[in-house]
Amino acid sequence: MAFAIDSKRVGLALLAVAVSALLIWFGTGMFPMWPLLWFAPLPVLLFANRGSRLGSPLVAFCAWLTGNLNLWHYLHSTIEVPLLACAAIFAAPALVFAMAVLLYRALLRRGAWSSALLAFPATWVSFEYLLNLTSVHGTFGSLSYSQLNFLPFLQLASITGPWGISFLLLLFSSTLAAAVHLRSAQPKQAMRTLGAGLGVIALVLIFGVVRLSLPQPGPRVKVGLVASDLPANIDTAADGAETARLFHDYAAQVGALAAQGAQVIVLPEKLGVVVAPDTAGADGLFQSLADKTGAEIVVGMVFVNAHVAYNQARVYTPRAPIESYDKHHMLPPFESHLKPGTTLTFLPATQEKLGVAICKDMDFTPLSRQYGETGVGLIFAPAWDFTADRVLHGHIAIMRGVEDGFSIARSAKLGLLTVSDNRGRILAETQSNSAPFATLLADVPAVHDNTLYLLLGDWFAWLTLAILAFALVQLIRIPRSQAD
């Protein structure tokens, strides 16, 4: 009989691992299917309702680790994360997930059901927030990015940033699991738990639908984007003739977009190398083009001055001095030799407030919030992705626009040319390999929206830390059940 009981438990454990891992695999990663992640933790939590103190976190760890291996090739092969670092990247979230499940189980066994269902998402979001403060990759890896296509839910970012999205995403599963646990002994409490958890999510979705339906009249800017994935154009061109050739090829595309009415034209990052003081060739080419067409041109390049190199976006405005923006957040190891910038940059020629950022800068909430606090309505972002991450990484910037109230025009080689508004709607998009020189022309709202997240910052992340602290106090204060 004991063998039969053990066999059944092992079978349920394996089933929970398999189902959760499958949902995590397809619910996260390069092309996440957003509905799947809502249910991904549920099999593990249902197992934890009756599982042992050792078996429950073990099942959780195995499920998360297995499901998250969908990023192994990208991290280890594409962006060249060392093997040991890769192992840590996969093991740490799996361990946190296991701890969250263990805390949920312990509180549930002590009868603290409300603390249990809140502690589960609070543990994870606390981890996401603290990691974002310390990691060179910022918010990359947040579960919130799996929900970018779920527009009504995405609007929550305007209140809580990414932290509220991750929290409610996990709260859904913990609510269902807690209600299942209570249904036999406390059916009324089970219904109240289910009603409260699902009611909060329903209110958030209603808010999102209303926010999406509100009109936003205001100025619009006709933006042109261009990028090339031709083999000769992918890597950063060397200083001299190679950079000059590439700039002239892009200049022809800029002229064509300007002829179609583009007011601002954005090129990808790090197209070539320009060394001061010999900048007359590049600056003369694009400045004369801006003067001739009346368009503002944003060009990404490696700018070297006194042996210090910057990942820079230079802004050419008709009959005005050249402005520049230096990227703040570098991607190791590819950009470890470049000096980070520290300032914001705005396009000077337009009445609307238009700003500039570069690629990975949009993975970090503080920089975008700084732009939002200035009232910026549109950000131009030269970028360079890795083909495989064109959707996952290319769309992270969309959430910054929802959080901080601005539209985004992002032009990436080996990625996507994307225009999105301050509600996270993709207004126009094409792949950079769709033509020898892929181009996109779109009318983009340049309307700033004041959001609660701009006003209060990471208040929700601090709330989750407080919830987690309270749950740990409850864990110590309430005696352990004999059945635990």
pLDDT, averaged across the chain: 95
pLDDT over 70 at 449, yes or no = yes
Average pLDDT rounded to a whole number, residues 376-402? 97
Average pLDDT rounded to a whole number, residues 216-225? 94
Sign of CA dihedral 254, 255, 258, 259: negative
| Spatial separation of the C-alpha atoms in residues 113 and 108, rounded to whole Å | 5
Average pLDDT rounded to a whole number, residues 204-212? 98
pLDDT over 50 at 2, yes or no = no
Q: Between 332 and 484, whose confidence is greater? A: 332
Q: Could you give phi then psi for residue 143, rounded to 5 degrees? A: -65, -20
Average pLDDT rounded to a whole number, residues 416-422? 98
Q: In sequence order, what DSSP letters do the residues of 82-113 get, joined into one string?
A: -HHHHHHHHHHHHHHHHHHHHHHHHHHHTT-H
> What percentage of the chain exceeds 90 in pLDDT?
91
Average pLDDT rounded to a whole number, residues 270-282? 95
pLDDT band for 8, please (50, 70, 90 cuts). confident
pLDDT over 80 at 378, yes or no = yes
Average pLDDT rounded to a whole number, residues 380-396? 96
pLDDT tens column, 25-49: 999 999 999 999 999 999 999 999 9
pLDDT tens column, 129-162: 999 999 999 999 999 999 999 999 999 999 999 9
Q: Between 2 and 373, whose confidence is greater? A: 373
Average pLDDT rounded to a whole number, residues 290-303? 97
pLDDT over 90 at 481, yes or no = no
> What percentage of the chain exceeds 70 in pLDDT?
98
pLDDT at residue 371, as a whole number: 98
Q: Where are the alpha helices (DSSP H) in 155-279?
A: 157-160, 162-182, 187-213, 231-234, 241-259
pLDDT at residue 32, as a whole number: 97
Q: What's this model's pTM, rounded to 2 decimal places?
A: 0.95
pLDDT at residue 81, as a whole number: 85
Of 245, 303, 316, residue with least CA distance to 275: 303
pLDDT at residue 1, as a whole number: 43
pLDDT over 80 at 14, yes or no = yes
pLDDT over 60 at 4, yes or no = no
Contact 343, 366 (CB under 8 A): no
Per DSSP, 184 falls in state: T
Average pLDDT rounded to a whole number, residues 221-233? 97
pLDDT band for 236, please (50, 70, 90 cuts). very high
Average pLDDT rounded to a whole number, residues 63-92? 92
pLDDT at residue 482, as a whole number: 46
